[in-house]
Amino acid sequence: MLDMVRVQDIGLSGEDDPTILEWAAQEGRVLLTHDVATITRYAYDRVRQGQPMPGVQDCCSNSASTRDRGIVERCRRSRIIICF
């Protein structure tokens, strides 16, 4: 079973990347995002600083169908937050 929420559903729409990553870490959730241009930098910063970082998954690869199956398989038991 997948437990997915959107940033819009939890009142984080429009918040900055560090705020979303902090919420995801506190909730133990993996972040699925199209915003890899900036969010990955903040995710790496969290790892370097020894802060919790359950994970960030890029959702913009070129082979969407293969990617989507892989994401679902890897995250089947995970709690996920989606940020688009």
- Radius of gyration over every alpha carbon of the chain, rounded to an integer in angstroms: 12
Residue 11: which of 3, 2, 20 has the closest Cα? 20
Q: Which two tokens stand for residue 30?
A: 């993996």
Q: What is the pLDDT of residues 16-64, one digit of tens each?
A: 999 999 999 999 998 888 777 888 899 999 999 999 999 888 776 554 4
Residue 27: which of 83, 79, 84 has the closest Cα? 79
Measured distance CA(69)–CA(23) in Å, rounded: 26
Domain segments of the chain as ranges: 3-83
The whole-number pLDDT of residue 9 equals 87
Measured distance CA(35)–CA(56) in Å, rounded: 10
